[in-house]
Amino acid sequence: MKATFSLDEKYKFWKSKWLKEHLALILFVVILNIIALIFAGIFHRPEFIAGISLIGIIEYIFFRNKMMMYVEHKIYD
């Protein structure tokens, strides 16, 4: 007998698995961004603060895209 799972259950499982596998990398990147923001604030460089914030948004989009590609590959292949 073959067990079947709904798409929602598969999605939640593979998303959770990807997040667990990449937690250290995500935390490392977030900590680097926070440190960079602190240094930019100490040296009063608002253009660096804006740039680092933009890089943080781009990193979020990148990691989210990588996670969704992984989840979709696991669900539909």
Give the pLDDT confidence of 15-40 residue by residue, as tens digits: 999 999 999 999 999 999 999 999 99
- Residue 60, domain extent: 16-76
Residue 20 counted as domain residue: yes
Residue 2 lies in a domain: no
| 22 located within any domain | yes
Structure tokens at 2: 């073959």
Residue 5 lies in a domain: no
Asked if the structure places residue 10 within a domain, the reply is no
Residue 8 belongs to some domain of the structure = no
Quote the DSSP letter at residue 44.
T
Structurally, the chain folds into a number of domains equal to 1
In a domain, 6, yes or no: no
d(CA 40, CA 43): 5
The 10s digit of each residue's pLDDT in 43-62 is 999 999 999 999 999 999 99
In a domain, 7, yes or no: no
What residues contact 76, with CB distance under 8 A and at least 6 apart? none
User: What phi and psi values does residue 2 have, to the nearest 5 degrees?
Assistant: -95, 125
Is the pTM of the predicted complex or chain greater than 0.95? no
